[in-house]
Amino acid sequence: MILTVTMNPSVDISYQLAEFCIDDINRCEQYSKTAGGKGLNVTRVVHQMRHPVLATGLLGGELGAYIERQLQQEKIAHRFSPIAGDTRNCIAVLHDDGKQTEILESGPVVSSVEAADFEQLYDRLLANVDVVTISGSLPKGVDDALYTRLIQQANTLGKKVVLDVSGAALTQTLQSDSKPYAIKPNRDELLAIAAYQPTGDDVSDLQAILNSELFAGIPLIVVSLGADGAFVKHGEMFYKVTIPRIKVVNPVGSGDATVAGLALALADGRDLADVLKIAMTLGMLNTMEQKTGHVDVTKFAEYVAQVQVAAL
């Protein structure tokens, strides 16, 4: 069982427009509204791969109820902790040749009692899971060390944590003594937290960054590189993962699909090459669908066979 943690979920609204006109009316016929937030994208992809998954985090208000109904309809197991504030909307406008404009609401303010209630729920849920994924930002009001405590608790029980957060939240977690088993920054997220001036040689830059003190003690680091696949550090070894060229429909959420692949392959005890191939394949399959956090599982075998993992 995989436990996915989404502390600041959202109803994700996606508008597909031929052209996005600023300071004018944009009429839209192609749109979707889904239970979103990075952790719920992970959840959906794990579920589509027919792997047991339980979604947790915080939900409140009308949009919180909407998300619960959607999860119910999709037959996805969930145990969220209730909050008084309203779960947020996030809007993506997809326009002009693959470009996209996003509007992300900051979301509700969570009280210390609500945060403590969630931690108690999390501790109870941990007992029955093998792998935990933690994705996305913390809502306002929750103290910055929450993710560190969630990781510490999982580590104590021997459960692997895949962490997909960015910025200060990532730096703070990496600086603590409780390390996640795996992280999945993309190149920009990695450069944003590394105190490093790139030389322009991608491989040696990435190697130098991942060898720095900040990343010490994390067994698996997967730097996702969009169409270029991934650069990976596992223990002391480095790997380049190469993927085939594909037709991209909507790349939003491909990092989340990659995290889903990491989690389910780790939960299944797969070897490193398989873990990376599965993760990359789910990232690719997500980009080939219109809907965020969706993969066509019937294409899995065709694409996983085309992913290559090479030790450097």
Residues that bind ligand ATP (CB under 6 A): 186, 224-227, 229-230, 243, 246, 248, 251-256, 258, 280, 283-284, 287
Q: How far is the CB of 243 from ligand ATP (least distance, A)?
A: 5
| 155 versus 242: smaller Cβ distance to ligand ATP | 242
Six-digit token pair at 208? Answer: 């130098």
- Closer CB to ligand ATP, residue 85 or residue 253? 253
Which residue lies nearer to ligand ATP by CB, 49 or 110? 49
Q: Which is nearer to ligand ATP, 61 or 226 (CB)?
A: 226
Q: 168-175 — which CB contacts under 8 Å span 24+ positions?
A: 168/144, 169/137, 169/138, 169/144, 171/214, 172/144, 172/145, 172/147, 172/148, 173/147, 173/148, 174/214, 174/215, 174/218, 175/214
Helix H or strand E encompassing 174: helix 167-175
Shortest separation between residue 123's beta carbon and ligand ATP, angstroms = 29
Q: In what order do the strands lie in the sheet with 77-82?
A: 77-82, 53-59, 2-6, 131-135, 160-164, 182-183, 220-224, 230-234, 237-242, 308-311
Q: At what angle do helices 146-156 and 112-126 cross, to 10 degrees?
A: 20
When the beta carbons of 4 and 81 are compared against ligand ATP, the nearer one is 4
Q: CA-CA distance, 164 to 204, in Å (whole number)?
A: 23
| Cα–Cα distance measured from residue 113 to residue 184, given in angstroms and rounded to the nearest whole number | 31
Q: Is the separation of the CB atoms in 38 and 16 below 8 Å?
A: no
Cβ 61 to ligand ATP, closest distance in Å? 25
Contact 8, 88 (CB under 8 A): yes
Smallest gap from Cβ 226 to ligand ATP, in A, equals: 4
**Min dist. Cβ of residue 24 to ligand ATP (A):** 27
Minimum CB separation of residue 80 from ligand ATP in Å reads: 22
Task: Provide the CB-side half-sphere exposure for 129 (13 A, CA).
Answer: 28
Nearer to ligand ATP, 27 or 245 (CB): 245
Of all residues in this chain, which one has the CB nearest to ligand ATP in the complex? 255
Could you tell me the smallest distance in angstroms from the CB atom of residue 285 to ligand ATP? Answer: 9
Residues linked to residue 10 through DSSP beta bridges, in sequence order: 36, 88
Of 70 and 258, nearer to ligand ATP (C-beta) is 258
